[in-house]
Structure 1
Amino acid sequence: MVLMHTNASLCPLCQQPNDCALAARREGDTCWCHHQEFVPKAKIPQAIAPDSCICQACAEALRKEAEQGMKRLD
């Protein structure tokens, strides 16, 4: 499997800014993701590098998909 490499400041799912504090060289604990509950890692497409940061909108979409029992096809 080939992992997709992306700009650290862009969401690998939608290519929009992910507002990652680490990518912006800010303190990690100031990042929006530290205040979120995430779905199991298996819901994120396997082609996405495991250290890639997704954006709030995609995290919310994945959460809703998991709640509804939907499975991603990508």
Structure 2
Amino acid sequence: MNPKLCPLCQKQNLCAISAGKPAEQCWCMEELKVPVSDTPRVLLPIPETATACYCQSCLEQIKKKQQTGPSSS
């Protein structure tokens, strides 16, 4: 798995850590304020060995799903 690509959409995830920068400089730390404990693996089938971050678009979709709860379908 390429650590610079989102595991869901395969687009660039723009992860600061993958670019060799401190985690504090990553867009996800400031913009979405997503705690590490809120890993979206509950909603999406991502292998436990995943080594890539989600892109901003996918993470926003995951966050919306978590806020609204599971769909009734």
What TM-score do you get using the length of structure 2 for normalisation? 0.71
Structure 1 residue identity aligned to 2:33: E
Q: Report how many aligned residue pairs link the two structures.
A: 66
Percent of paired sites with the same residue: 33
CA distance in 1, matches of 2:50, 2:3: 12
Gaps of 5+ in 2: none
| Matched-pair contact (CA < 8 Å) for 2:16–2:22 | yes
Root-mean-square deviation (Å)? 2.2
Give the direction of change, closer, same or farther, for the CA distance of 1:50–1:14 in structure 2 (3 Å limit): same
- Partner in structure 2 of residue 37 of structure 1: 33
Higher helix share: 2
**In the TM superposition, what is the alpha-carbon distance from 1:49 to its structure 2 partner?**
3.2
What TM-score do you get using the length of structure 1 for normalisation? 0.70
